[in-house]
Every structure is written in structure tokens, then in C-alpha cells.
């Protein structure tokens, strides 16, 4: 099994809107709607330093015709759709229900 986390730029939902992809051999911790993503450590000149997750979509696909197999022929992709939010202490102190 391979795990991928794809983060989309604000307002985008097509493959051209991906701003970062992380891959790992183990599942990522859950990310929920309303969570904040700080992009400043990604080593890129990112236009949006702080993003809020608007929606989470899961895609599970087989990479070979052999079916589900523990050798890594299955990919679990988590797609995160976002909006840009102000990079301020006030944004960080708001609970997701008050956005």
C-alpha cells in the first residue's frame, strides 16, 4: 500500500491545482475539514502561507491488474481542497465552527 496526500491550491480541484504531494508507506494522520495547513516549511515559494481544509476526498486505486496485494500495488490518495486564510494568531485561535 502506498499513501499520498495531495494539497490543492485555493479554489482548485483539477490536477493542475496541486501545490504539494506527500507520499509515505504508512497512512497519514486524519485531516478534517476546518484544519489549518501551514505551508511555510515546504521549501517552496508558496503564495498561500496558511490554508484551511474545505473538503477531503479519498481515492483508492489498484496499480496493477493483480488486485489488492500487500506488495504495494494499491494507492490510497487523500485529496485536500483548501481556501487561503490570513496567517494571523486570530485565525489560529478561532474554532472551526466559527469560521
Does residue 69 surpass a pLDDT of 90? no
Write a three-state SS string for the chain. Answer: CEEEEEEECCCCCCHHHEEEEEEECCCCCCCCCCCEEECCCCCCCCCCCEEEEEEEEEEEEECCCCCCCCCCCEEEEEEEEEEECCCCHHHHHCCHHHC
What's the rounded mean pLDDT across residues 56-83?
81
Residue length of the chain: 99
The answer to whether 35 and 58 are in contact (CB under 8 A) is no
Domain coordinates in residue numbering, the chain: 2-98
Question: What whole-number percentage of the chain has pLDDT above 70?
Answer: 85
Q: pLDDT for 8-20, tens place per residue? A: 999 998 989 999 9
Amino acid at each position: 500500500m502506498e499513501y499520498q496526500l495531495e494539497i490543492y491550491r485555493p479554489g482548485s480541484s483539477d490536477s493542475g491545482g496541486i501545490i504539494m504531494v506527500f507520499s509515505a508507506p504508512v497512512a497519514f494522520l486524519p485531516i478534517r475539514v476546518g484544519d489549518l495547513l501551514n505551508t511555510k516549511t515546504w521549501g517552496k515559494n508558496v503564495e498561500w502561507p496558511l490554508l484551511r481544509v474545505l473538503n477531503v476526498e479519498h481515492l483508492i486505486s489498484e496499480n496493477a491488474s493483480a488486485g489488492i496485494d500487500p506488495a504495494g500495488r494499491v494507492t490510497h490518495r487523500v485529496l485536500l481542497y483548501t481556501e487561503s486564510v490570513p496567517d494571523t494568531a486570530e485565525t489560529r485561535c478561532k474554532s472551526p465552527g466559527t469560521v
